[in-house]
Amino acid sequence: MNTFNITLSSKIGIIGSGAMGSGIAQVAATEGNEVLVYDNNEGALIKAEANLKSGLLKLVDKQKITQDKCDAIIKNIKFVSALETFSECNLIIEAIVENLDVKKKVFTNLEAIVCENCVLASNTSSLSITSIASACKFPERVIGIHFFNPATLMPLVEIIPGIATDERLAELCKTLILEWKKVPVICKDTPGFIVNRIARPYYGEAMRIVEEGIADIATVDWAMKTIGGFKMGPFELTDLIGHDVNYVVTETVWKEFYYDQRFKPSLLQKRLVEAGFLGKKTGRGFYNYKEGVVQPSSDENTEKGKLIFDRIIAMLINEAYDALNLKVASEEDIDLAMTKGVNYPKGLIAWSKEIGLENVFSTLQNLYDNYKEDRYRPNILLKKKRLSF
């Protein structure tokens, strides 16, 4: 039986020196862990080290941390170009490209270097942990530890045991994440895990509303912010995330759920990706961010806004109940994930009780009756729960 040792005294290895890998390294080093950051690109390593130091110095200037703390964090992190330096690590977190074959190869290579008790974790946002672990001689030590971007600021961390993962490992990882002052939730190894699964209708249903000509993008964004209390509307948010990222996640979840219509991607978004209009980072997405461009105004009709909000929130709540029904995570962790992972104003299960389960069910049933699409079918648990309130 393996004796896993992952504590604040453990040596942590990070594979990938990009924004996510460097961010995770900073989180661990801030709480006192010795961290090694590996990348096979020497230039990327040099850039990552410079960015880390620059970012920490800015925090000192803003009096968010002291100079002594800054120095301690920098001292705790070493940037390395040889994977063999990970031989004494207790935990390794991979944060590289979302490609299953590449991840499997990395994990296979790691097993030839590390001891049997070293925990191997993936920061994947959409790939199967069980599938990644299948490449390993000891799949019981493989787990998902999914941070959200930027890792230094976003509190949520999804912990995902695969089918073969040692049953003790999720709780050990949860304890460590709490010591890193993050908010851990444990979920099943299913496509999209909690957040990227449940959040799909926030984007997909908003795009459907625009495609049907019910409202334009500015009006949908206004409705979700003003009536729903969301910090960003769905079109603003996808522009910020980047359509190359957001569309691929939607497409991956759709395919992994055997093309379930609830997750069907939008042609509207696909065309943006094809055009290279990827959002803020390219200067154009749903909105045009070029200097001097006047942004479209919204139709601030409260009745229309309420219809938009009711439709999108009902779809989100339906997904939350589907995840709960299939034991993807507990009710508490589902609500925690959506408030801490994507900054929703309220947890969706709690929100459903506030709106009224009968009202949510009626909205979904009306959509289903009108469209006759499985996309709008009310979840069985939502049906049952509404009768008990």
The residues assigned a catalytic role are 125, 146, 158, 196
What does the chain come to in residues? 389
Looking up tokens 């506030």, which residue turns up?
A: 354
At residue 123, what is the residue type?
Answer: N
> Which phi and psi angles does 134 have, rounded to 5°?
-65, -20
Q: From residue 108, give the alpha-carbon distance in Å to each of 112, 120, 137, 138, 139.
A: 7, 10, 8, 10, 10
Closest of 255, 258, 234 to residue 246, by C-alpha: 234
79, β-bridge pairs: 37
- What does the alpha-carbon distance between residue 8 and residue 175 come to, in Å, rounded to a whole number? 10
What is the CA 1 to chain-centroid distance, rounded?
32
Residue 18 near residue 95 (C-beta atoms within 8 A): yes
Q: Which two tokens stand for residue 26?
A: 């900073």
232, β-bridge pairs: none
Helix, strand, or coil here: 309? Answer: helix
- What does the alpha-carbon distance between residue 350 and residue 174 come to, in Å, rounded to a whole number? 24
- What does the alpha-carbon distance between residue 139 and residue 165 come to, in Å, rounded to a whole number? 6
Helix, strand, or coil here: 152? Answer: coil
Q: Which two tokens stand for residue 368?
A: 């289903």
Q: Which two tokens stand for residue 377?
A: 């079918």
Closest of 327, 317, 299 to residue 364, by C-alpha: 317
User: In 39-192, where do the E strands start and end?
Assistant: 77-80, 91-94, 119-122, 142-147, 156-161, 183-186
- What does the alpha-carbon distance between residue 274 and residue 297 come to, in Å, rounded to a whole number? 26
